[in-house]
Structure 1
């Protein structure tokens, strides 16, 4: 490897600190199969050697102490222009040009300063590029011009403004063959710039292309106006442009490449600014750099307010760190789902809002936006929004006065919501049942017999069906929320706070709660297993037998997996197997339950108090409260069933992806089938459609695995605040002390027992029957452990959280939304949980 001149592959290995931002961007493009022109990278070692020889030590000291002295800057600029380049470099240059067949080519000599084109500073327009350079002599002059451009008043001022040491930025150089130059064909040239988000408005749902006929120098320099195309990221459709330079095929191909680039280089989190050239129908990228600052697009009321980022109950819905394939769906699906009801009821949210984002790999929601959206749209207070979602985020400030017209509009939108979900329960039940039936039918297929086209076509159909069902999921969640709201209105009419707390016991029982039923059914299976000799052998195997027989246990297990086999740990993430694939966790729960006596009721005191309260109420009030509770239970059951349907839709998609991965592993293109979960659906689409050869696929998978492992080691806060244009700042939570904590009492009743602190459901080995389960949050994969628990404590949770809904169904005293509970409680401590008061207390054993 040369000291001064590197191939683009060597530039990737050397890194941005050696070859600068521009060469590093091109090296990354090449690494992952994007087409770039022939390129060589000159390292910053050349610049450092030149300034050591050309600039006196006294001048360097003066620049350090007087960075604003224009005469010193001008002197430095002139000395670099007239400097001599090392003879060893000139020899290497001639050899490298010959080796890469560039000795007679038209070259672009472009500055590539260390720190340039980075995530925090672009240096856009600060440094010089020289085009159409041919031959060694012209190259030497162009290199010195790029070196000298580091020392202009504007470039020095930019470095100071961005916080760089005046001498701390060194210059590397990119030598890039010009597309359309004399060594290229004479195919028509079209060129331009493209952004994977709108740099003017901040919209994140579109990509913006500006295109011209011919090379784009004048466009980049702001001398001409290009034709503007807007490409929608969800389906890559483009806004029509009359007489635009790009034909339909070129625009479609560019859109696909930009979509992949957004994910491959920016991981979907960072928007990219690119320059590109079409030579005929061959697309070349000649630059790619992160967009350093996007405008803060938000709701008008929140423009000057800090953003509150919270994981709220997203922490329990999603895997802690979603894999790239899952995140590429979540990133757009969740905002669309959250905005669906407002957009359908006359409250039009601005397009392209930054509703969710990743912080250290975890999903956070913009709670400032959601609190204002639900208040301004429907009058729900920020405190009530936080209660429903869970999480520890603060409430936003509200206006002191509002007009009657504003209030009336909220009432009208509320009526439209009621009309929208009127009759939704039956429709959603039928739609969910149809999904479950289709998934069960799909399990019968042997995918190894399908050809490639059948696999991919089926995958896209299932993904389209999942997307189409998301509005139904939103309706189910809102249906549940409204029924709970109406129940709470009845609860607030009760005369005492004690009665109000006790009334939540009415939400317990009733059955038909999918997330609870799949746990309760395990107890029935365990009773069957006690009396079936075959059960022990199957349960010890930790895997499903190739053929399931007709014994009582095998029949019960087959029926269970037929109903609930689509569920599993991390069930909304493509990376995790379903219980129908990997039943080990279920087998462990069944083995545990086989050795336990039938669970005690534990509810007699609550039931007695509840009966007394109901008997004391006037008949009309009692009937209204009971009816509202029945409706709320039905709403919660519907929400859980619709969520189960979403999970079910993912089972066929995962099976199809795994089959494609199995074949690719056999071909040696990846190491294991589930490696495909480390690429996004946009990248997967490019692979199967042939717009990506797969160059760099294994390296991309490896780098994302490493990033995931790094994220997993990092601790995160539940809430961050972000001032516009700044990085998120962690909300500091004081260390908990004392013997008593207060949270949200989600289900009444008192219980004393041994605390078992669990960080994930597969760490349950020490949890015994009757222990108090202390968890960060729960999703449906935790539900079998609820059968062991005498009470539940969670760090995160709200009125509509999964853990709260299931705990109510099972009648477990529950306290949630206590930040730091896992640190405050020591495993094995004796606790009292009072779900009526929302209190947990450390007790002497």
Structure 2
């Protein structure tokens, strides 16, 4: 299962999840990991995912040849070489990514920071003996050349077929026994997850390598590295952006129907029941279309990688809140309109860029560009594939949790405060774990009150020294400019809407600027009515950048503490190319 450690001083006598830090590769970051697991791990989620993830990470790391197998020899799985959990929060190992980047021909160790960190003040890179390795560099060169010629990924096709088979084998929730639900939703997922996750990582590493190479070529050949991002805009077939188009159509249905409009004007809370009780024809048509939407995209939602959290299928109001925002948006924000505009701009830019390059540079540039686009789309497809599998396990776990909480007199969600090895005993006698669950809930709440360090070197600071989320920061003043990194070029001015959760019912009005801590695919529909996006953390491969490129809206990433310093309602200007946010006026 992986380590299950006491954290001692960090949370009294409580037991919590944690991995060991590596002496050989000591620098860790929340970058990228924070998008997948933004909140504190529940014990069950940790026990299902951590060891399988670490195995997958190690196999994927070796794929490029930039890291040699002997460099991982003797490091136990309880030591986070790829991914780890510290103080209940997910981290990635930055040191090993830096070593791989240092061995790319023409590359530098700090190139890895662009993909994982964004801005900030990360620990310096200290080259260790053996960092430069000719054999590894040659292997890496062969790997990149192979990537540029790839036009299909058979492993991804195989995973999609296997996941479809797994989902078909999940027993019916209404008739399955408790033990059948327990086996299909936890034990079987553990057995299969590592292979699926490895495919996702291999594709992701390939996309990152190609994007870095494309950026490097744009800088050296054209003098402007930001051209790489513009050449990746409006690609289409990006899975994480796909729900937005379907939600847009549902929003148009509401907008054109007085009956539906009246229902949504009353608010989203309770709307599922209200629509069910209304037999009007346009309501029935909407429910049918919304049902088809859930069949296709119901696995998506906040924190969708963790079975502990609801998705659009298990809590439809999470999706209806977003659709409600869509219906208030004018036609100029339609995803199809934006895509057509961006596709035309991208095609014109590509033709202009290629005309400036001489053969054979032009040929190589075109090849790298084509492959970078293919891998970026494949990365999102691989992510979507795994999320569907996790959702299948979620449905069984939620039903099992409901049953056992009813038997023990406990709370919904108790299941996730057990570890996988305890589940058989919990199914047999759920009431016997009440004290254990109560203590772990206490520790979870304690950890959730703290902000984990974005990166650390060697030893993570004691949890008692982490900043409290309740701490107030110095607010911005008119005329102040906060600087992060450019995610998607363009300049927009609008009202800041500070949104901490994608299901926030306050709403995002057309022309507003979305200010968020970070985003995952469940946030994507909020990008549609927004004129710009600002996120606290993020890097060149982050979700906010990918979706902003698809929709063609300015995006500033890694604008540290933006959600804590910019007040909701402030008038701000976002320069997505420079990565800056300027305060124009404060709310009354």
Bucket of the pairwise TM-score, normalised by the shorter protein: 0.7 to 0.9
Q: Per-residue deviation at 1:573? A: 1.6
Q: Per-residue deviation at 1:472? A: 0.9
Match of 1:267, SS?
strand
Residue of structure 1 in register with 2:539 after alignment: 798
Query: Are 2:149 and 2:367, in contact at CA under 8 Å, matched by a contact in 1?
Result: no
Q: Per-residue deviation at 1:399? A: 3.8
Query: Are 1:315 and 1:363, in contact at CA under 8 Å, matched by a contact in 2?
Result: yes
Q: TM-score, normalised by structure 1?
A: 0.58
In structure 1, how many angstroms separate the alpha carbons of the residues matched to 2:377 and 2:330? 28
Matches for 1:649-688 after TM superposition, within 5 Å: 649-666=389-406, 668-688=407-427
Distance 1:418 1:439, change over 3 A: farther
Query: Are 1:347 and 1:377, in contact at CA under 8 Å, matched by a contact in 2?
Result: no
Query: Are 1:520 and 1:787, in contact at CA under 8 Å, matched by a contact in 2?
Result: no
Q: Per-residue deviation at 1:584? A: 0.3
Residue of structure 2 in register with 1:397 after alignment: 125
Q: Per-residue deviation at 1:387? A: 0.5
Query: Are 1:572 and 1:647, in contact at CA under 8 Å, matched by a contact in 2?
Result: yes
Q: Per-residue deviation at 1:747? A: 1.3
Residue of structure 1 in register with 2:95 after alignment: 368
In structure 1, how many angstroms separate the alpha carbons of the residues matched to 2:303 and 2:222? 43
Query: Are 1:514 and 1:644, in contact at CA under 8 Å, matched by a contact in 2?
Result: yes
In structure 2, how many angstroms separate the alpha carbons of the residues matched to 1:664 and 1:774? 39
Matches for 1:585-600 after TM superposition, within 5 Å: 585-600=318-333
Distance 1:415 1:265, change over 3 A: farther
Q: 2:68 aligns with which of 338, 344, 347?
A: 347
Match of 2:540, SS?
coil
Residue of structure 2 in register with 1:572 after alignment: 305
Distance 1:420 1:507, change over 3 A: closer
Query: RMSD between aligned alpha carbons?
Result: 4.0
In structure 2, how many angstroms separate the alpha carbons of the residues matched to 1:417 and 1:335? 24
In structure 1, how many angstroms separate the alpha carbons of the residues matched to 2:411 and 2:458? 39
Query: Are 1:748 and 1:813, in contact at CA under 8 Å, matched by a contact in 2?
Result: yes
Residue of structure 1 in register with 2:215 after alignment: 488
Distance 1:311 1:516, change over 3 A: same
2:230 equivalent to 1:505: yes
What do residues 36-61 of structure 1 show as CA deviations (whole Å, max 9, x unaligned)?
Answer: xxxxxxxxxxxxxxxxxxxxxxxxxx
What do residues 162-213 of structure 1 show as CA deviations (whole Å, max 9, x unaligned)?
Answer: xxxxxxxxxxxxxxxxxxxxxxxxxxxxxxxxxxxxxxxxxxxxxxxxxxxx
Residue of structure 2 in register with 1:563 after alignment: 296
Q: 2:352 aligns with which of 615, 625, 631?
A: 615
In structure 2, how many angstroms separate the alpha carbons of the residues matched to 1:786 and 1:347? 41
Residue of structure 1 in register with 2:46 after alignment: 327
What do residues 115-142 of structure 1 show as CA deviations (whole Å, max 9, x unaligned)?
Answer: xxxxxxxxxxxxxxxxxxxxxxxxxxxx
Q: 1:838 aligns with which of 576, 579, 582?
A: 579
Match of 1:720, SS?
strand
In structure 1, how many angstroms separate the alpha carbons of the residues matched to 2:459 and 2:302? 36
What do residues 778-825 of structure 1 show as CA deviations (whole Å, max 9, x unaligned)?
Answer: 011111111121111112111111111111111111111122222342
2:503 equivalent to 1:762: yes
Which range is displaced more, 611-620 or 628-637? 611-620
Q: Per-residue deviation at 1:462? A: 3.4
Q: Per-residue deviation at 1:543? A: 3.2
Query: Are 2:37 and 2:306, in contact at CA under 8 Å, matched by a contact in 1?
Result: yes
- Name the structure with the higher helix share: 2
Distance 1:572 1:434, change over 3 A: same
Distance 1:533 1:449, change over 3 A: farther
Query: Are 1:428 and 1:476, in contact at CA under 8 Å, matched by a contact in 2?
Result: no
Q: 1:812 aligns with which of 546, 553, 557?
A: 553
Q: Per-residue deviation at 1:749? A: 1.4
Q: Per-residue deviation at 1:572? A: 1.3
In structure 2, how many angstroms separate the alpha carbons of the residues matched to 1:376 and 1:792? 34
2:562 equivalent to 1:821: yes
2:438 equivalent to 1:702: yes
Highest RCO, 1 vs 2 (Cα 8 Å, sep ≥ 6): 2
Q: TM-score, normalised by structure 2?
A: 0.81
What do residues 513-548 of structure 1 show as CA deviations (whole Å, max 9, x unaligned)?
Answer: 111011222101212333457756886544377899
Residue of structure 2 in register with 1:521 after alignment: 246
Match of 1:843, SS?
strand
Match of 1:752, SS?
strand
In structure 1, how many angstroms separate the alpha carbons of the residues matched to 2:520 and 2:539? 13
Query: Are 2:489 and 2:575, in contact at CA under 8 Å, matched by a contact in 1?
Result: yes
Match of 1:446, SS?
coil
What do residues 397-419 of structure 1 show as CA deviations (whole Å, max 9, x unaligned)?
Answer: 34499798x23432224425765
Q: Per-residue deviation at 1:504? A: 2.0
Query: Are 2:239 and 2:380, in contact at CA under 8 Å, matched by a contact in 1?
Result: yes
Q: 2:197 aligns with which of 446, 467, 470?
A: 470
2:367 equivalent to 1:648: no
In structure 2, how many angstroms separate the alpha carbons of the residues matched to 1:743 and 1:261? 37
Larger radius of gyration: 1
Residue of structure 1 in register with 2:530 after alignment: 789
Structure 1: where are the runs of 5+ without partners? 1-232, 235-257, 271-293
Query: Are 1:566 and 1:651, in contact at CA under 8 Å, matched by a contact in 2?
Result: yes
2:153 equivalent to 1:426: yes
Q: Per-residue deviation at 1:567? A: 0.9
Aligned length: 552
Match of 2:272, SS?
coil
Distance 1:343 1:632, change over 3 A: closer
What do residues 676-704 of structure 1 show as CA deviations (whole Å, max 9, x unaligned)?
Answer: 0121222224545x6xx557411111122
Structure 2: where are the runs of 5+ without partners? none
Match of 1:590, SS?
helix
Q: Per-residue deviation at 1:829? A: 1.9
Match of 2:90, SS?
strand
Matches for 1:259-338 after TM superposition, within 5 Å: 266-269=15-18, 297-299=22-24, 307-338=26-57
In structure 2, how many angstroms separate the alpha carbons of the residues matched to 1:651 and 1:724? 32
What do residues 206-233 of structure 1 show as CA deviations (whole Å, max 9, x unaligned)?
Answer: xxxxxxxxxxxxxxxxxxxxxxxxxxx4
Which range is displaced more, 730-739 or 776-785? 730-739
In structure 1, how many angstroms separate the alpha carbons of the residues matched to 2:326 and 2:219? 40
Query: Are 2:300 and 2:311, in contact at CA under 8 Å, matched by a contact in 1?
Result: yes
In structure 1, how many angstroms separate the alpha carbons of the residues matched to 2:149 and 2:44? 35
Query: Are 1:342 and 1:377, in contact at CA under 8 Å, matched by a contact in 2?
Result: no
Q: Per-residue deviation at 1:714? A: 2.7
Which range is displaced more, 514-523 or 473-482? 473-482
Query: Are 2:218 and 2:227, in contact at CA under 8 Å, matched by a contact in 1?
Result: no
